[in-house]
C-alpha cells in the first residue's frame, strides 16, 4: 500500500480491523482508521470487526464486514435466512430499541447539521407495534436469472437449478433476482401465495420476462392486503395478455387461498421494471380492495398509493391532527395530498379541506374516497404545487385563506419556489409530514426567514429493520 498524508492509503481488497463507533445517515456504520472515516456495511455500533475495503477515497473509504471479532451488545441474530443477500431489512441484526435510537439520532443530526437548528424539542420516537408482518403491500419480481449464493451453488452443483426465480432483486443487480420461499414483511398468507405462483410458473413452463430479448410472460407478483378489512389482492404483472394463463392461475389460487378477494392482471410491453401495467384485466372479484384508517374507509386499486404500514399510518395521521390543533372553523390546505388520506382523516374536525396533488389518478382516488365516506367538505385539485401556489392562483378565490397547512411531500421534499410561497402565505400553523429528515431540515431552514419557528418534531418508525424514518414537525409563526 502506498503512503499518503503520513498514513497508508487503503486499497481495494485490504482486510482491516475496525471498531465501529456510531451509525450515520442511511444506516451506515462508521469507524475510523488512522483518521480516515470508513463506512462499514453489515456492522453495528460497538462491534469490533474485520472488514474488506471496497472503495477508498482521500476522505473516506467503504468496507464490508467479513468477520465479527467482538459483537456489539446491540447485535442480534437476524430473523430471516436471506439476511445479508436480500436488499431489504438491512437492520435485522440490530436490536429494535437500538434501531429506534439510531433513527432518532438521524433526525437530530439532520436538523442540526443541515438545517442549522439547535435545542429543538424532538420528542421520543414512536416505534412500530409490529416489527415483522407489518407491510400491507409487497412486490416480488420474476427473472430467468436467479441469484445464487455460495451455499446455493454448493447445494445445487450436481442438480439442475430451475431457470426461474421469484423474489427480490439483490442490491445493485437489477438483472438478478434472489429466489425466496419465505418473507417476514407481509404475512404467512403472502408467502403461501408467493410459493404457489412460482410453482404454477414452473409446472406449466411459463417463462419470466427477459428485457434483453423482450420475451417471456411473468414480470411481477404484487400482493396487497387490507390489514383492517381482511381483503387480499393478487396482481400479476405480465408482458403479454394471456387469458388462458390467467384463468388457470386464478382458479388455482382461489382454490388454495379462499382468503383472496380479488385477482387482476396488469399488462405492459414497456422495458421499465416498474410494476405498473398499461392496462389491467380483472379475473376475480372487483379489482379493488378496501381498508380503514381510523373510522374512514379507503378504496385501494392495484396502482394507487396507500401508506404501507397501516397501523403506523394511523399513528402518523393522529399525530399530524394533534399538532394541527384543529378547530371547527378552520380551512386546511393539504399539500401533496396523494389519495386524500390525511385530508379525509382530519375532515371531521374542520370546516373545509383543500387538497392539491400532481398525479391526476391520485386526485380521482381522493374524490372516490371522500364519496365512499360521505364527506362533503373536502375539495381535491390536480396540479403542480409550485405552479398552483405561484402562477395559477385563480383557484384560491374559490376558497378561504387557510388557518393550517399540512404538507406531505415525497423524499425529495418541496420545490424551493413552493416553500417560498408557503412562507409568504403567513399561515399561523404548518404541519410538515416528512419521510426524509434531510429534506425536512432543508425546507424548514428555507421557511425560517419568513418568521417560522419549529415548535416540536415527532419521529415515527414506519419501516422496522430499515434506516427509513418519518417525522411530523409543527411549525408556527413567531
Quote the CA–CA distance of 103 and 95 in Å, as a whole number.
Answer: 13
CB 180 within 8 A of CB 192: no
Catalytic residue among 80, 89, 337, 435: 435
CB 278 within 8 A of CB 270: yes
Coil vs helix vs strand at 127: coil
Q: Where are the alpha helices (DSSP H) in 94-141?
A: 96-113
Coil vs helix vs strand at 56: strand
Compute CA distances 471 → 91, 123, 312, 363, 435, whole Å: 20, 10, 12, 24, 6
CB 238 within 8 A of CB 208: no
* Catalytic (active site) residue 435: yes
According to DSSP, the residues that pair with 17 across neighbouring strands are 50
Quick count: other Cβ atoms within 10 Å of Cβ 124? 9
Measure CA 356 to chain center.
Answer: 22
Measure CA 236 to chain center.
Answer: 21
Q: What sign does the CA torsion over 103, 107, 113, 118 have?
A: negative
Quick count: other Cβ atoms within 10 Å of Cβ 206? 18
Closest to 467 measured CA to CA, from 1, 38, 102: 102
CB 77 within 8 A of CB 71: no
Residues near 10 by beta carbon (within 8 Å), at least 6 away in sequence? 1, 16, 33, 36, 38, 53, 56, 61
Question: What cell does 216 get?
Answer: 417471456
Compute CA distances 414 → 1, 152, 307, 439, whole Å: 46, 45, 19, 8
CB 329 within 8 A of CB 351: yes
Quote the CA–CA distance of 224 and 351 in Å, as a whole number.
Answer: 34
Active site residues: 435
Amino acid at each position: 500500500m502506498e503512503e499518503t498524508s503520513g498514513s497508508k492509503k487503503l486499497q481495494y481488497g485490504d482486510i482491516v480491523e475496525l471498531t465501529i463507533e456510531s451509525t450515520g445517515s442511511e444506516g451506515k456504520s462508521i469507524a475510523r482508521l488512522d483518521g480516515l472515516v470508513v463506512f462499514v456495511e453489515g456492522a453495528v455500533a460497538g462491534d469490533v470487526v474485520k472488514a474488506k475495503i471496497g472503495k477508498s477515497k482521500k476522505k473516506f473509504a467503504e468496507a464490508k464486514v467479513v468477520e465479527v471479532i467482538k459483537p456489539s451488545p446491540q447485535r442480534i441474530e437476524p430473523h430471516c435466512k436471506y439476511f445479508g443477500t436480500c436488499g431489504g431489512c438491512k437492520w435485522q441484526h440490530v436490536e429494535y430499541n437500538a434501531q429506534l435510537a439510531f433513527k432518532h439520532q438521524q433526525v437530530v443530526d439532520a436538523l442540526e447539521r443541515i438545517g442549522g437548528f439547535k435545542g429543538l424539542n424532538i420528542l421520543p420516537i414512536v416505534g412500530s407495534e409490529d416489527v415483522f408482518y407489518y407491510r400491507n403491500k409487497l412486490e416480488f419480481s420474476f427473472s430467468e436469472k436467479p441469484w445464487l449464493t455460495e451455499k446455493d451453488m454448493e447445494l445445487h452443483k450436481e442438480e439442475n437449478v430451475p431457470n426461474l426465480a421469484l423474489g427480490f432483486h439483490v442490491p445493485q443487480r437489477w438483472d438478478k433476482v434472489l429466489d425466496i420461499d419465505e418473507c417476514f414483511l407481509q404475512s404467512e398468507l403472502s408467502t403461501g401465495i408467493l410459493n404457489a405462483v412460482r410453482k404454477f410458473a414452473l409446472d406449466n413452463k411459463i417463462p419470466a420476462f427477459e428485457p434483453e430479448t423482450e420475451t417471456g410472460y411473468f414480470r411481477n407478483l404484487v400482493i396487497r392486503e387490507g390489514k383492517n378489512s381482511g381483503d387480499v389482492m393478487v396482481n400479476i404483472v405480465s408482458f403479454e395478455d394471456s387469458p388462458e394463463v390467467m384463468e388457470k392461475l386464478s382458479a388455482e389460487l382461489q382454490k388454495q387461498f379462499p382468503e383472496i378477494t380479488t385477482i387482476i392482471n396488469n399488462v405492459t410491453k414497456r422495458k421499465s421494471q416498474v410494476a405498473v401495467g398499461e392496462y389491467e384485466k380483472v379475473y376475480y372479484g372487483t379489482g379493488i380492495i378496501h381498508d380503514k384508517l381510523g373510522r374512514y374507509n379507503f378504496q385501494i386499486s392495484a396502482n394507487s398509493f396507500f401508506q404501507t404500514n397501516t397501523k403506523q399510518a394511523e399513528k402518523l395521521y393522529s399525530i399530524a391532527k394533534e399538532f394541527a390543533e384543529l378547530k371547527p372553523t378552520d380551512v386546511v390546505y393539504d399539500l401533496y395530498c396523494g389519495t386524500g388520506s390525511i385530508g379525509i382523516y382530519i375532515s371531521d374536525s374542520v370546516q373545509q379541506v383543500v387538497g392539491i396533488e400532481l398525479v391526476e389518478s391520485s386526485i380521482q382516488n381522493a374524490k372516490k374516497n371522500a364519496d365512499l365516506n360521505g364527506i362533503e367538505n373536502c375539495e381535491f385539485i390536480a396540479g403542480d404545487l409550485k405552479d398552483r401556489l405561484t402562477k395559477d392562483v385563480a383557484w384560491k378565490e374559490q376558497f378561504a385563506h387557510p388557518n393550517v397547512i399540512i404538507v406531505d411531500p415525497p423524499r425529495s421534499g418541496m420545490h424551493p419556489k413552493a416553500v417560498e410561497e408557503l412562507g409568504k402565505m403567513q399561515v399561523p400553523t404548518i404541519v410538515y409530514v416528512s419521510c426524509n429528515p434531510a429534506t425536512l431540515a432543508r425546507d424548514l431552514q428555507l421557511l425560517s426567514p419568513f418568521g417560522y419557528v419549529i415548535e416540536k418534531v415527532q419521529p415515527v418508525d414506519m419501516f422496522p429493520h430499515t434506516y427509513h424514518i418519518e417525522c411530523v414537525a409543527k411549525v408556527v409563526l413567531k
